[in-house]
Amino acid sequence: MVYLAYVKLLITIVQDADAPGLIKALGEIGIQSTKLSSTGGFLREGNTTLLIGLEEHQLEAAKELIREKCRTRTRLITPGVPLAEAPDPFLAQPVEVKVGGAVVFVLTVDEFVKV
Amino acid sequence: MVYLAYVKLLITIVQDADAPGLIKALGEIGIQSTKLSSTGGFLREGNTTLLIGLEEHQLEAAKELIREKCRTRTRLITPGVPLAEAPDPFLAQPVEVKVGGAVVFVLTVDEFVKV
Amino acid sequence: MVYLAYVKLLITIVQDADAPGLIKALGEIGIQSTKLSSTGGFLREGNTTLLIGLEEHQLEAAKELIREKCRTRTRLITPGVPLAEAPDPFLAQPVEVKVGGAVVFVLTVDEFVKV
Ligand code: NI
Ligand code: NI
Ligand code: NI
């Protein structure tokens, strides 16, 4: 059993598509995370809740990776409207949708136990 | 990235049946929540864990909604016992079962980050 | 609605195989837990996240049970290598694999509400 001081727990909600890249990037700097599946609410559909445990000195690096891997960006999507149902050519134009985003609750951990 | 002071995280366990009504009611007063699926333990079968993030000044309103939408109440259930197997008419009488209930852990958030 | 002072929330990640025994043992001393399904990260594949709520005076007993039910131990596994593909008899020898383990984040709860 190992006790570590100054542990933080980040309860982090990200889009499903951004989760694997973030988990990998965190792992590369020695930060472990566990994935819970979640739905709705803080982000548009299809999100994942990550439990990220770290020491205080790793907090800035973790936030930097979250910003980098989950930044809100726009993507051009062409709506899949059948031609017959979209006589107005405007409807077939690509539209901008927002993807990404993250919500992070940083919690102070009283005690961290590893068995 | 946005930092907000005095954020609270409510880890809230409710019955599956009460979750949609609570999520909707919270949303109507501007409080977002994320749904995790969970099982057993704090409540009778079929429960949902909600992560509810809010500012301190919204805490009382959120607790009021949880009380309202998840209050413990009884419901009359007629057990679906086939007649042939229940010669004793007492067995076919409606019985009271408890539904609802909620368990809320209110946590102080060190830092809230929105990307 | 019941308010209890000095409540702790243990966010505990254990191996799937160890979860039922731990939940049962905690229940036998009056400690309730809720199971979330989770994947990857802190432990090898197939882990479960438990939300364990307790009063401060129960903390040592809960940690003792976690240590007992989830201790890291080795198990001998004979790799299922077809004989034709394993001409070297060494490859068919049983190997030691680690099982068990747990990670516990102990959080102080501001306020505990039961509806
Ligand atoms: Ni370190
Ligand atoms: Ni406000
Ligand atoms: Ni007690």
Rounded CA separation B30/B24 (Å): 10
- Counting ligands in written order, which one lies closest to the CA of residue C8? 3
Q: What is the pLDDT of residue A29?
A: 96
| Secondary element (H or E) of residue A19 | helix A19-28
Question: Which has more pLDDT, A16 or C93?
Answer: A16
- What distance in Å separates residue A36's CA from the closest CA in chain B? 7
Residue B16 exposed, middle or buried by CB count within 10 Å (0-12, 13-18, 19+): middle
Contact residues on chain B for C113, CB-CB shorter than 8 A: 63, 66, 102-104, 106
Q: Which of residues 39-98 of A touch B (CB under 8 A)?
A: 39-42, 47, 49, 63, 66-67, 70-72
In-domain check, residue C40: yes
| B64 pLDDT above the threshold of 60 | yes
The ipTM value here is 0.82
In-domain check, residue A95: no
In-domain check, residue C14: yes
| Secondary element (H or E) of residue A55 | strand A47-55
Q: How crowded is residue A37: how many other Cβ atoms within 10 Å of its Cβ? A: 17
**Structural domain for A20, as ranges:** 2-71+101-110
Give the model confidence (pLDDT) of C21-45 as tens digits: 999 999 999 999 999 877 766 665 6
Structural tokens at position A74: 């726009």
| B24 pLDDT above the threshold of 80 | yes
Which residues have their alpha-adjacent CB atom under 5 A from ion ligand 3?
Answer: C 55
Q: Does B106 touch chain A (CB under 8 A)?
A: no
* Chains interfacing with C (3 or more CB pairs < 8 Å): A, B
The number of residues in chain A equals: 115
Q: What is the CATH number of the domain that holds C17?
A: 3.30.70.120
| A75 pLDDT above the threshold of 70 | yes
Which residue among C37, C41, C71 places its CB closest to the CB of A33?
Answer: C41
Q: What is the pLDDT of residue C19?
A: 94
In-domain check, residue B88: yes
Contact residues on chain A for C62, CB-CB shorter than 8 A: none
In-domain check, residue A81: no
Strands (E), chain C: 2-3, 7-15, 32-39, 47-55, 73-77, 95-99, 102-108, 111-114
In-domain check, residue C58: yes
In-domain check, residue C18: yes
Overall domain count for chain C: 1
In-domain check, residue B115: no
Q: Does C106 touch chain A (CB under 8 A)?
A: yes
